[in-house]
Amino acid sequence: MLSIRKLKKSYGGRILFEGADLQINYGERVALVGPNGAGKSTIFRIILGDEEADKGTVERDEWTLTGFLPQESEDVGDYTVLEIATGRAGMLQTLETTLKSLEDAGTVEVPQYYEAQAKFDALNDPKVEAKAKEMLRGLGYEEDRFDRPAKEMSGGWIMRAHLARLLVIEPDLLMLDEPTNHLDLMSLLWFQDYLKNYSGAILMISHDRQFMDELVESVHDIDERKLLAYTGNYSDYLKQRHENYERQNQAYKNQQKQIKELQEFANKFRNVSSKASQAQSKLKEIDRIEKIEKPMAPKKPFRFQIPEPPRGGQKALALNNIDFAYGDNKVYEGLDFEIERGERTVLVGPNGSGKSTLIKLLAGELTPQQGEYKPGHNAKIGYFSQHRAASLNPNNSVLSEVLEAAPTLREDEARGILGSFMFRKEEVYKMTKVLSGGEKSRLNLVKFLVDPPNILLMDEPTTHLDILTVESLIIALANYQGTLVFISHDVHFIKELATDVIHVANGNAKRYHGDWTYFIEKSGAGDERAALTAD
């Protein structure tokens, strides 16, 4: 289906990768991993023909239909969500133009024509609208939002509409660049289940460890300018990578010991007439040895100890007899809710059940129509939301923003923490007003960690973080001495941190005094998606 041979790519003298090989056969599920900037998205662009390699070849079966989901969505104009999902938002017209152009040029026996025709036929299928609606529902859309202008939606919801269109087309090769970034837990689990039964091949870039563990059969890692292949899922890859490093490092040490012994013999006896020829022989032996390079140790999570926050009361936070509604839409009525000091609680439930509303009520960001909001003794509450860009001083640098948040922090300490959250070298001097949405989210996360509250409320904290940074955050939060309440679509993150699960549905918040596995078992639903939608 897809064959990459001896690929090389460099930018400004820096080689991203060389001699890279990758073979994807029909129906295979492959993950492309590596640190930010290693060249994962560059390989995608080369496969798609949007960028040229310095050397090497990319061959694709001419009948292979390829579909690509980028990280950033395109302009949606005045089209509705359903028009995007069905291709009526300009895509059908573009395909029709492409087909006519190729027909007029007499070049219909080319892969571009086959691909355009296949996509055009898929979007012209009489059942396309029913199929698009099915995909949109799976990805979390309510029926009453299908005909709304997409421009009224957030970027995450627009991406879901584009993803729905991609699934409607059903490409032979599905290329996904960070597909889970904008999904909540329910839609992620639906998407994961859908892909398990997908007939085509999948090539993905993802920072979601659990998602890859559930789906992929092989992992290709861009490491030290090489593309290294591993069999199995992401956890298998981590184990194999560690074993390979230990084996290579031992071989390197053994060889260095051998060379040292040979060199010592030569140094000792080179001036001894009876041993001089042997000494010379040892030196020649050293020259004949094919030298093993010292392997680079796999990067590990950054270990950062969150400072101990001020001690709060045993009852950290409570909501008593709360009524809350958005206009006529009642979300909670007579809600009682309490969090104890030291708990690490995840809020889960179906789409639109009120999880984000509940965390905003706990943060004091929303005022209930009735009831009592009761922070505990000495409560210092911090609320981390996806939309905290406005809290940054646009005239501050990244480094200044952190140092202002924690005046006792040394500059080298601040730079070390920022580096672990992908602000490296000169990037710490960037002004916050020029940061991307993801960069602003990461910077706010650092500010929370260096000056922590004793009650930390977090809504999707892992979005825009790579796997190593997520692991670093897990380590930090696992040792955090305060109280944590969070919402996350990252099942690995939930499994590693949550000691309590609160299932939010139909205006109720039911507590399970146990971790994620305990919640699934006690719900009696049988699987994760069913547990989340249960009453």
Round to whole Å and give the CA distance between 187 and 165: 15
The whole-number pLDDT of residue 390 equals 61
- Confidence grade of residue 164 (pLDDT, cut at 50, 70, 90): very high
Round to whole Å and give the CA distance between 421 and 468: 9
The whole-number pLDDT of residue 493 equals 96
Q: Stretch 89-93: mean pLDDT, rounded?
A: 83
302 vs 206 pLDDT, higher one: 206
- Confidence grade of residue 92 (pLDDT, cut at 50, 70, 90): confident
Q: Stretch 324-335: mean pLDDT, rounded?
A: 92
| pLDDT above 70: percentage of residues in the chain | 98
Q: Stretch 180-205: mean pLDDT, rounded?
A: 94
pLDDT at 314 over 80: yes
The whole-number pLDDT of residue 136 equals 95
Main-chain dihedrals φ then ψ at residue 534, nearest 5 degrees: -65, 150
The whole-number pLDDT of residue 115 equals 84
- Confidence grade of residue 447 (pLDDT, cut at 50, 70, 90): confident
The whole-number pLDDT of residue 378 equals 92
pLDDT at 74 over 80: no
50 Cβ neighbours under 8 A, 6+ residues apart = none
The whole-number pLDDT of residue 389 equals 57
The whole-number pLDDT of residue 535 equals 67
Element (H, E) at 513: none
Closest CA to 122 of 109, 110, 135: 135
Closest CA to 402 of 385, 419, 390: 419
pLDDT in tens, 448-474: 888 889 999 999 888 878 888 889 889
Exposure of 145 in the CB half-sphere (CA atoms within 13 A): 18
- Weakest-pLDDT range from 109-118, 145-154, 385-394, 424-433: 385-394
Contact 140, 186 (CB under 8 A): yes
Q: Stretch 269-293: mean pLDDT, rounded?
A: 90
* Mean pLDDT of the residues in the chain: 90
- Confidence grade of residue 186 (pLDDT, cut at 50, 70, 90): very high
- Confidence grade of residue 446 (pLDDT, cut at 50, 70, 90): confident
pLDDT in tens, 212-236: 999 999 999 998 888 999 999 999 9
Contact 346, 498 (CB under 8 A): yes
114 vs 518 pLDDT, higher one: 518
| pLDDT above 90: percentage of residues in the chain | 58
Residue type, 496: E
Q: Stretch 111-140: mean pLDDT, rounded?
A: 89
pLDDT at 304 over 80: no
Q: How many Cβ atoms are within 10 Å of 308's Cβ, its own excluded?
A: 12
The whole-number pLDDT of residue 110 equals 78
Which residue carries 């020029």 as its tokens? Answer: 434
The whole-number pLDDT of residue 18 equals 92
Main-chain dihedrals φ then ψ at residue 159, nearest 5 degrees: -60, -35
Q: How many Cβ atoms are within 10 Å of 446's Cβ, its own excluded?
A: 21
Round to whole Å and give the CA distance between 369 and 366: 10
Q: CATH number of the domain at 315-533, please?
A: 3.40.50.300
519 Cβ neighbours under 8 A, 6+ residues apart = 348, 501, 503, 512, 531
Measured at the alpha carbon of residue 437, what is the angle toward residues 489 and 387, in degrees to the nearest 5? 65
pLDDT in tens, 288-300: 999 999 998 888 8
Closest CA to 348 of 511, 208, 209: 511
The whole-number pLDDT of residue 384 equals 86
Helix (H, G, I), strand (E, B) or coil at 335: strand
pLDDT at 527 over 90: no
What tokens were used for 29? 């599920």
Contact 124, 99 (CB under 8 A): no
Round to whole Å and give the CA distance between 126 and 160: 22
Q: pTM score, two decimals?
A: 0.87
Q: What is the 3-state secondary structure (H, E, C) of 143-182?
A: HHHCCCEHHHCCHHHHHHHHHHHHHHHCCCEEEEECCCCC
What is the DSSP pairing of strand 201-205 with strand 218-223? unpaired
Main-chain dihedrals φ then ψ at residue 436, nearest 5 degrees: -75, 170
Q: CATH number of the domain at 2-237, please?
A: 3.40.50.300
The whole-number pLDDT of residue 214 equals 96
Round to whole Å and give the CA distance between 517 and 520: 5
pLDDT in tens, 400-410: 999 998 888 88
The whole-number pLDDT of residue 387 equals 65
The whole-number pLDDT of residue 485 equals 96
